[in-house]
């Protein structure tokens, strides 16, 4: 029987595969000896980690001695790895931390609400106002990304633009067909 730690690692990896941009992370790796899960960010030198007070067998029916909540007894923290130079100075790193922590916390909350992570604790960890603010921010980011994409396409001749857009649309359709976000 899988433990809460193993099950959460599995669910995190499935969620990251479904939509890697949601948490802006690579795969989750398990460290059972430390009762910890590590997940490293894409472009910045940061790792979010989930530490567990205790490791319990995971059972959806929650038989005695097990848990049906993969986040039971867990807490999230962020570790900034500054040695690679992604942050020009300490102030930049200090400014990044709360924003990234909030992104991760809200992303995990949404994943739990969508049923992609088996955790009532995570699903209830954020309020409706925070989620509405997040959605408004995400909408703005999507609009800005679309504008940037259009500016990128304008640098090419019409035929190349058409092929690039077609490729983008094919990739989006492929991910949707695989049941993944984009």
pLDDT for residue 120: 94
Retrieve residue 25's tokens.
């992370």
Question: Is the model's pLDDT at 46 over the cut of 60?
Answer: yes
pLDDT digits (tens, 9 = 90+) for 6-42: 999 999 999 998 888 888 888 899 987 888 998 888 7
Q: Domain for residue 137, yes or no?
A: no
Give the DSSP H/E element, type plus range, for residue 36: strand 36-41
Is residue 123 within 8 A of residue 111, CB to CB? The reply is: no
pLDDT digits (tens, 9 = 90+) for 56-98: 899 988 898 899 999 988 999 887 765 555 677 777 777 777 8
CA geometry: angle 32, 33, 37, nearest 5 deg: 45
Number of structural domains (the chain) is 2
105 shares a domain with 32:
yes
157 shares a domain with 94:
no
Length of the chain: 182
Question: Is the model's pLDDT at 104 over the cut of 70?
Answer: yes
Percent of the chain with pLDDT over 70: 94
* Range of the structural domain that residue 60 is part of: 4-126
Note the pTM of the prediction, 2 decimals.
0.79
Retrieve residue 27's tokens.
């795969």
68 shares a domain with 42:
yes
* Largest pairwise CA distance in the chain: 66
Dihedrals φ, ψ of 90, to 5°? -60, -35
9 shares a domain with 54:
yes
Is residue 109 within 8 A of residue 122, CB to CB? The reply is: yes
Q: What is the pLDDT averaged over residues 42-56?
A: 82
Rounded CA-CA distance 32/19 in Å is 25
62 shares a domain with 150:
no
Q: Is 19 exposed, middle or buried (0-12, 13-18, 19+ CB in 10 A)?
A: middle
pLDDT for residue 82: 59
Q: Domain for residue 182, yes or no?
A: no
């Amino acid at each position: 029987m899988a433990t809460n730690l193993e099950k959460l690692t599995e669910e995190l990896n499935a969620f990251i595969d479904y939509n890697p941009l949601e948490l802006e992370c690579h795969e989750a790796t398990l460290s059972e000896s430390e009762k910890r899960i590590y997940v490293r960010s894409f472009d910045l030198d940061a790792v979010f980690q989930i530490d567990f007070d205790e490791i319990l067998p995971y059972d959806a029916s929650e038989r005695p001695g097990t848990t049906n909540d993969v986040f039971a007894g867990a807490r999230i923290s962020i570790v900034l790895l500054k040695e690679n130079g992604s942050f020009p100075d300490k102030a930049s790193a200090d400014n990044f931390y709360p924003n990234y922590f909030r992104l991760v916390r809200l992303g995990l909350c949404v994943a739990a609400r969508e049923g992609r992570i088996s955790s009532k604790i995570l699903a209830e960890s954020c309020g409706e106002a925070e989620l509405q603010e997040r959605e408004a921010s995400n909408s703005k980011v999507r609009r800005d990304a679309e504008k940037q994409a259009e500016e990128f396409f304008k640098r090419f001749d019409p035929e190349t633009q058409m092929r690039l857009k077609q490729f983008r649309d094919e990739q989006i359709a492929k991910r949707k067909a695989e049941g993944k976000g984009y």
